[in-house]
């Protein structure tokens, strides 16, 4: 295995939790509620891993917010009601994560440790995420991960969002590594499918936001789903050993 490619949101940092909460606060302010609307958190859980416009529309439809949001379209110069919800959510989220301490407090140490180890053992490394470049740079800087990465790909680098494999195929090209020699770490169903469709080896690292959906729509064999962070190094080792065994068998003369 010559390269390891990491998702960002939910895989290296618990940004999904922070984004879900920002949706809940946005709905609270929109509907003038006394507390963040937990219905928004549950609706986000159903669509986690999707592009922000897709997530906002799903939450809008699930909670019946279109009329309230449509009324605000002129003020936000928005072309759709879900765009208003996105603007509300992004403003709240950005204010929260502007403090690097907030990001560090929500780091997933098991995957960031794996990233550092991969780089230290001369494996090529990349981040492939559908978040925007400005946000990604801020998160990676806050976690001191920039020097451990060879390639960083974001929403701006591709035309098609995950589960389309475009971003993973581009990562392999930029790393100059065949897709079959790449290991992907992802946390959501749609994003795992992107790695599988790219012809890469994929390990799904479940989070509180994605465990149920991964169990319901398992895109990889159960043995490649990590539910206990402590088991991640062992699962990665098994995946590498499996890959090496298959590669050796193929190369052996008949």
The CATH topology of domain 3-14+106-251 is Rossmann fold (3.40.50)
- Res 136 pLDDT > 90: yes
CA pair distance 232, 253, nearest whole angstrom: 34
For the chain, domain boundaries: 3-14+106-251, 16-101
Predicted local distance difference test score (pLDDT) of residue 74? 97
Mean pLDDT, the chain, whole residue set: 93
pLDDT single digits (tens) 177-192: 999 999 999 998 889 9
How far is 106 from 97, CA to CA, in rounded Å?
10
State yes or no: pLDDT of 213 exceeds 90. Answer: no
> pLDDT tens for residues 55-93?
999 999 999 999 999 999 999 999 999 999 999 999 999
- R_g over Cα of the chain: 19
Report the predicted TM-score, pTM, of the whole model to 2 decimal places. Answer: 0.85
Please compute the mean of the pLDDT values over residues 155-169 and round it to a whole number: 95
Mean pLDDT of 96-120: 95
* Banded model confidence at residue 11, pLDDT cuts 50, 70, 90: very high
Contacts of 46 (CB under 8 A, 6+ apart): 58, 62, 213
DSSP per-residue string spanning 19-73: HHHHHHHHHHHHHT-SS--HHHHHHHHHHTTS-HHHHHHHHHHHHT-HHHHHTTH
| Size of the chain in residues | 254
Residue 108 pLDDT level (bands cut at 50, 70, 90): very high
Q: What is the pLDDT of residue 248?
A: 64
164-173 pLDDT, tens per residue?
999 999 999 9
More confident residue, 9 or 49: 9
What is the pLDDT at residue 110? 95
- Residue 242 pLDDT exceeds 60: yes
Tokens of 15: 């940004």
Q: What is the pLDDT of residue 226?
A: 94
Angle (nearest 5°) at CA 45 between 50 and 94:
65
The percentage of the chain sitting over the pLDDT mark of 70, rounded to a whole number, equals: 97
Distance in angstroms between the alpha carbons of the first and the last residue of the chain: 24
* Under 8 Å between Cβ of 213 and 188: yes
Q: Which residues of 177-195 are buried (b: 16+ CB within 10 A; e: fewer)?
A: bebebbbbbbbbbbbbbbb
Rounded Cα distance, 150 and 156, in Å: 18
Region 202-231 average pLDDT: 88
CA distances to 11, 73, 137, 147, 243 from 150, rounded to whole Å, are 18, 41, 14, 8, 22
Average the pLDDT over 30-52 and give the result: 91
CB 48 within 8 A of CB 80: no
Q: What's the Cα-to-Cα distance from 231 to each of 27, 113, 225, 239, rounded to whole Å? A: 37, 13, 10, 12
- pLDDT at residue 50 greater than cutoff 80: no
């Amino acid at each position: 295995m010559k390269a390891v490619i990491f998702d960002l949101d939910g895989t290296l940092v618990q940004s999904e939790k922070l984004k879900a909460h920002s949706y809940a606060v946005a709905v609270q302010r929109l509907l003038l509620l006394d507390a963040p609307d937990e219905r928004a958190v549950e609706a986000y859980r159903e669509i986690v891993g999707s592009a922000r416009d897709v997530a906002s529309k799903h939450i809008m439809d699930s909670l019946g917010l279109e009329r309230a949001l449509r009324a605000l379209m002129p003020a936000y110069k928005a072309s759709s009601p879900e765009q208003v919800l996105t603007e509300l959510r992004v403003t709240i989220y950005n204010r929260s994560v502007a403090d690097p301490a907030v990001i560090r407090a929500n780091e997933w140490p098991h995957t960031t440790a794996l990233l550092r180890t991969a780089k230290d053992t001369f494996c090529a490394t990349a981040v492939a995420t559908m978040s925007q470049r400005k946000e990604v740079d801020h998160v990676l800087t806050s976690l001191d991960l920039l020097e451990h990465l060879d390639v960083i790909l974001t929403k701006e680098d591709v035309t098609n969002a995950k589960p389309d494999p475009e971003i993973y195929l581009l990562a392999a090209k930029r790393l100059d590594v065949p897709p079959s020699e790449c290991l992907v770490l992802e946390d959501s169903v749609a994003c795992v499918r992107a790695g599988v469709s790219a012809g890469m080896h994929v390990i799904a690292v479940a989070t509180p936001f994605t465990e149920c959906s991964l169990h319901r729509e398992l895109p990889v064999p159960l043995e490649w789903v990590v539910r206990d962070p402590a088991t991640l190094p062992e699962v990665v080792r098994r995946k590498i050993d499996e890959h090496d065994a298959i590669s050796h068998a193929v190369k052996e003369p008949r």
